[in-house]
Amino acid sequence: MYRDTPHPLHRRDYRPPEFLIDHVELRFDLDPDRTRVEATLQVRRNPAATRGDGTLRLDGEQLDLEEVAIDGHRLSPAEYRVEPDSLTLQRVPDRFRLDTRVRIHPNLNTALEGLYQSGDMLCTQCEAEGFRRVTYFLDRPDVMARYRTTLVADRERFPVLLSNGNRIEERLLDDGRHLVSWEDPFPKPSYLFALIAGDLSAIEDRFTTASGRDVVLQIFVEPHNLDRCDHAMQSLKKAMRWDEERFGREYDLDVYMIVAVSHFNMGAMENKGLNVFNDKFVLARADTATDEDFQGIEGVIAHEYFHNWSGNRITCRDWFQLSLKEGFTVYRDQEFSADVGSRGVKRVADVRLLQAHQFPEDSGPMAHPVRPDSYVEINNFYTATVYNKGAELVRMQATLLGPELFRKATDLYFTRYDGHAVTTDDFVACMEDASGRDLMQFRRWYSQAGTPCLHIEAHYDAEHATYSLLIRQEIAPTPGEPEKDPLHLPFAIALLDPDGRELALRLEGEPNAGDPGTRVLELRDWETRLCFVDIPIRPVPSLLRGFSAPVQPRFDYDDEDLLFLLRHDSDGYSRWNAARILMQRVLSTMTTDPAAEVPAPFVDAFCGALTDPDTDRELLAEVLTLPSESSLGDQMETVDVEGIHRARTALQHILGERLAEELLRVYRDNADTEPYAPTPEAIGRRALKNLALGYLMAAGNAQGLALCRTQFADAGNMTDAIAALRLLVNHGGEEGPRALDAFYRRWSKEPLVIDKWFSVQATSSREGTLGAVTGLLLHPDFSLRNPNRVRSLVGAFCTANPARFHARDGSGYRFLADRVLELDPLNPQIAARLLKALIRWRRYDAGRQALMRAEIERILAAEELSSDTFEVASKAVE
Ligand code: 0A1
Ligand code: ZN
């Protein structure tokens, strides 16, 4: 906690560590109140570092130090210095053994970093800097050591004791306790250390790797959750096979363990051989988890598994390089999900996420490059920029190199740097070395923040049969970066003839045309002119296909061309994008003029897509979903909160009314006939069915209401149940509260389902929602100590209910600031994350600006504030 201004760390200040730690031996006497940690570290000078004066400063926080010894000689307190964040030893030998003994208090650890209690279990979270809350250490990712860990605990209370690597010893002690030792043969940074103690059950399976290693796979959960681990296990096996086939990566230990915990700040953690997961990303049964949950589990299980190579075997030199492991691993999990599901739909979902979260971040006060130059608190930099834009940078390199060279480059990366802690520059160098390409300019994507705009103009010359494009890059300044440089990017394009066929493209000066289809061109300059020749008829351009670069394309399509693309384009992203632009146009007119008519061609096109028998239903559901209120706000100079809400509600109503018949048919045609399965086909049917129901309910359609009631009462799966509940709650009247009560009674013993129950109420569009949410803070099931619960109520209200959160009187802002102030002393990471909902205050009208700013100032005025919350709040008002 800080009273003074915390100082930022700078990337340019990186120095190799003066000391290295080769081996770590840890012994834990586990007790939730008082755990004893004894550590033996083999320390030596780093020959690659400049020689200092022999001072060794170890990181350590919230540790009660009991003993320190060097080479077996106990030090007196005069021989070391303890500060709140460190232990300093002077004039240490060049090579020595350091023994320390500390006490820690897991049950008081509400920040969920280091060793903490979750329910009846004990678990750790060490990324990024949690290991320093376990023991004194050089807690930085470029210090890699081999670990041997011994866990001692009461056998009744903690029958299962896990850590990284292989189990090497297990025995009973004579006082009712037992002891288990683990050894991890791979050197690893401290952030990948983990331990678990609890009364857990496991499902077990096996996997044989391509080279014949037999691996035991285990998923540990509380015993009553044992019947919801199958999907996670299937996902794991799929991911293991896929990584062998697609990237040539095999698993390297004899056991792979996953543990689900109910208190977790993030999604999951890739600790070597012992992944710890937020239970939301493990547990799924048809009646308790939605399709989205099932897909999320598959993606996150794969993500953590893929980290074993992109993250663990090869890790980050320092935390500025976080995207080295996260961007690459997100790219890998995106490709996995695309291969096992539907590629077009996955791309649209990823683009939607990027636009909804990363683009706003990139234009707000916390904008930062994928490889930041400075930070105050690294926990604030687990962002959409580092993760999702980082993945786009890897994707662009894959596009520029093509599949064969990209694979050659990743092979080179994995062999060249196995066992090392490296940088994003090292990654790009592998792309260059394997392909012979020059990516010097491309590197700017890592160092420069901000989303480029591509302004595109086209001209068709019928007489010369040419089609020319003028493409201009524009990148707005971001905090601390007033000047920008042009970027190197792949620009995928096709030109469609009037029948929707792709033309063969030949640029002026090229000897001959390639096959018809997409061409990937490369842009490097502020301005690029392209001229395609032999274009016999005015084509419709399909631009930035597959979203080939994380930019905002601006092209003045006329409505007919968009309707054409919506109907004919074979590129999923481009179809979805055409629908989005059309919807945005209609909604923008309705926002400024509530009396505006909805154009008939728009309704016809919507109807055409709705009843299109040939398109993947999952993609149709994406295409036919209206842009969210937040994304509509992002398109405006100043967000018109009420106008957007009114227009979007009205358009839903109009479509529901005009297309009632078709919507009812779609609903009926897509009813589930088979037992629940989270297959792409079945997920698509449910998505389209529930989309249709949503429009019908928006229009107050009586048959729709009857269907919704029946669906709520009879649903055989959580996807349908929660969709119906949400619609009933938004519908109003007595029905909503009654359905909520019934739902609560049925699921009161299921925390993950109760999270949904809170969220449905927090995101209700009804006027009294803030009052209801405030009331729910006092519900016996609400707790500020459980991050999932906080996100389901407070997070959902502040980020997914713009009409109510941005209430003109500032009540939503006050509510959020109150929660941030309450949470900050308990869990700074979650407090700082929530606060991000307030920081884009400049996007609103003067009245709201003043109210939002005032709340941020109120937070800043608090007597004590974590560095996490301080950094977000202070950057917001800079
Ligand atoms: N490396 C994990 C994410 C993660 C980051 C920080 C955490 O605690 C502060 C926990 C998890 C991943 O990318 O999955
Ligand atoms: Zn990750």
Residue nearest to atom 8 of ligand 1 (CA): 127
Do 95 and 148 lie in a common domain? yes
499 and 566 housed in the same domain = no
Q: Which residues of 262-320 form beta strands (DSSP E)?
A: 268-269, 274-278, 315-316
CA 497 to chain centre: 39
Q: Which residues contact 88 (CB under 8 A, 6 or more apart)?
A: 55, 56, 57, 58, 80, 81, 82
Cβ burial, residue 655 (10 Å; 0-12/13-18/19+)? buried
Same domain for 561 and 543: no
> CB of 589 within 8 A of CB of 602?
no
Please, which residues bridge with residue 26 across strands? 39, 149
Domain boundary among 429, 446, 463: 446
Does residue 300 fall inside a structural domain? no
**46 Cα to the center of ligand 2, angstroms:** 29
As annotated, the active-site residues are 304
Do 494 and 409 lie in a common domain? no
Give the model's pLDDT for residue 4.
66
The alpha carbon of 303 and the centre of ligand 2 are apart by a number of angstroms equal to 6
Q: Is the CB of 382 under 6 A from ligand 1?
A: yes
List per-block mean pLDDT (blocks of 10 residues) for the chain, which spans 878 residues. Answer: 77 98 98 98 97 95 98 98 98 98 98 98 98 99 98 98 98 97 98 99 98 98 98 99 99 98 98 98 98 98 99 98 99 99 97 98 98 98 99 99 99 98 99 98 98 98 98 98 98 98 97 93 98 97 98 98 97 98 98 97 98 94 98 98 98 98 98 93 97 98 98 98 98 94 98 99 97 98 98 98 98 99 98 98 98 98 98 97
Residues 552 and 617 in one domain: no
Report the distance separating Cα 347 and Cα 330, nearest Å.
13
Is 810 contained in some domain?
no
Query: Which 3 state secondary structure label does DSSP give 324?
Result: helix
Cβ atoms of residues 864 and 299 within 8 Å: no
Q: Say if ligand 1 is within 6 A of residue 620 CB.
A: no
User: Sign of the C-alpha dihedral, residues 592, 594, 599, 602?
Assistant: positive
Q: What is the ipTM of this complex?
A: 0.99
Can you tell me which residue has the tokens 């297309």?
Answer: 659
Contact 133, 114 (CB under 8 A): yes
Instruction: Using the CB atoms, write b or e for 372-405: b if 16+ within 10 Å.
Output: bbebbbbbbbbbbbbbbbbbbbbbbbbbbbeeeb
Is 535 a domain residue?
yes
DSSP state of 828: H
Q: From the CA of 270, how far away is ligand 1's center (Å)?
A: 8
For ligand 1, atom 9, name the residue with the nearest CA: 127
Q: What is the pLDDT of residue 733?
A: 86
In a domain, 236, yes or no: no
- Does ligand 1 lie within 6 Å of residue 308's CB atom? no
For residue 417, how far is its CA from the centre of ligand 2 (angstroms)? 19
Counting ligand 1 atoms within 8 A of each CB, the residue from 269, 325, 332 with the most, and so the one to mutate, is 269
Peptide bond into 128 cis (omega under 30): yes
What number does the ligand 1 atom closest to the CA of 325 have? 13
Tell me which H or E stretch contains 772. Answer: helix 769-776
Query: Where is the domain boundary, 556, 573, 595?
Result: 556
Q: Which atom of ligand 1 is nearest to the CA of 304?
A: 14
Q: How far apart are CA 335 and CA 321, in angstroms?
A: 22
The answer on 682 and 564 residing in a single domain is yes
Sign of the C-alpha dihedral computed for residues 347, 353, 356 and 359 taken in this order: negative
Sign of CA dihedral 742, 748, 753, 756: positive
- Give the Å distance between the CA of 267 and the centre of ligand 1: 7
**Two structure tokens written together for 285:** 């049964």
Q: List the CATH number of the domain containing 167.
A: 2.60.40.1730
CA of 251 relative to ligand 2 center, distance in Å: 17
Owner of token pair 């707790």: 783
232, 306, 301, 329: which is closest to 678 by C-alpha?
Answer: 232
Distance 92 CA to ligand 2 centre (A): 37
Query: Are 37 and 135 within one domain?
Result: yes
Q: Is 125 in the pocket of ligand 1 (CB under 6 A)?
A: yes
- pTM higher than 0.90, yes or no? yes
From the alpha carbon of 387, which atom of ligand 1 is closest?
Answer: 13
Cβ of 304 less than 6 Å from ligand 1: yes
* Identity of the amino acid at 452: P
Pick from 425, 446, 467: which residue ends a domain?
446
Residue nearest atom 7 in ligand 1 by C-alpha distance:
127
How many domains does the chain fold into? 4
Q: β-pairing, 64-70 with 95-104?
A: antiparallel
Q: How many CB atoms lie within 10 A of CB 755?
A: 20
> Closest Cα partner for 790 from 61, 52, 73, 264?
264
Query: Please, how many CA atoms are within 13 Å of residue 210, restricted to the half-sphere of its CB?
Result: 12
Q: Residue 732: what pLDDT?
A: 86
* 105 and 36 share one domain: yes
Q: Return the ligand number nearest the Cα of 111.
A: 1
Give the C-alpha separation, 629 to 804, whole Å. Answer: 11
The DSSP call for residue 224 is G
Give the residue whose CA is nearest to atom 3 of ligand 1. 269
Sheet holding 453-461, edge to edge: 527-532, 466-474, 453-461, 552-555
394 and 536, same domain (yes or no): no
| Residue 731 resides in a domain | no
Residue 349's CATH number? 1.10.390.10
The full length of the chain comes to: 878
| Domain contains 746 | no
Q: What is the pLDDT of residue 1?
A: 52
Residues 6+ apart with CB under 8 A from 840: 360, 364, 365
Sign of the CA dihedral with 517 first, then 571, 580, and 489 last: negative
Does the beta carbon of 268 lie inside 6 Å of ligand 1? yes
- As a whole number of Å, the end-to-end CA separation of the chain is 21
Q: Are residues 586 and 687 in the same domain?
A: yes
> Which of 308, 382, 833 best tests ligand 1's pocket when mutated (most atoms within 8 Å of CB)?
382
* C-beta of 377 in contact with ligand 1 (< 6 A): no
CA of 307 to the centre of ligand 2 (A): 7
Of all protein residues, whose CA lies closest to atom 13 belonging to ligand 1?
326
Asked if residue 596 is part of any domain, the answer here is: yes
Provide the residue range defining the domain that includes 114: 9-199
Residue 188 structure tokens: 């690893």
The CATH number assigned to the domain holding 563 equals: 1.25.50.10
Whether 544 is covered by a domain: the verdict is yes
- Nearest bound ligand to the CA of residue 192: 1
Q: Which of 124, 132, 191, 266 to mutate to test the pocket of ligand 1 (most atoms within 8 A of CB)?
A: 266
Nearest residue to 759 via CA among 715, 729, 717? 729
Q: What is the DSSP letter of 501?
A: P
SS3 labels along 645-670: HHHHHHHHHHHHHHCHHHHHHHHHHC
Q: Is the CB of 305 under 6 A from ligand 1?
A: no
Beta bridge partners of 865: 2
The β-bridge relationship of strands 527-532 and 201-208 is unpaired
> For residue 492, what is the domain's CATH number?
2.60.40.1840
Ligand 1 binding pocket includes 265 (Cβ within 6 Å): yes
The finding on whether 528 has its CB within 6 A of some atom of ligand 1 is no
* Residues 195 and 121 occupy one common structural domain: yes
Residue 489 and residue 557: Cα distance in Å, rounded? 22
- Whether 463 and 388 map to the same domain: the answer is no
DSSP characters over 833-859: HHHGGGTTGGGS-HHHHHHHHHHHHHH
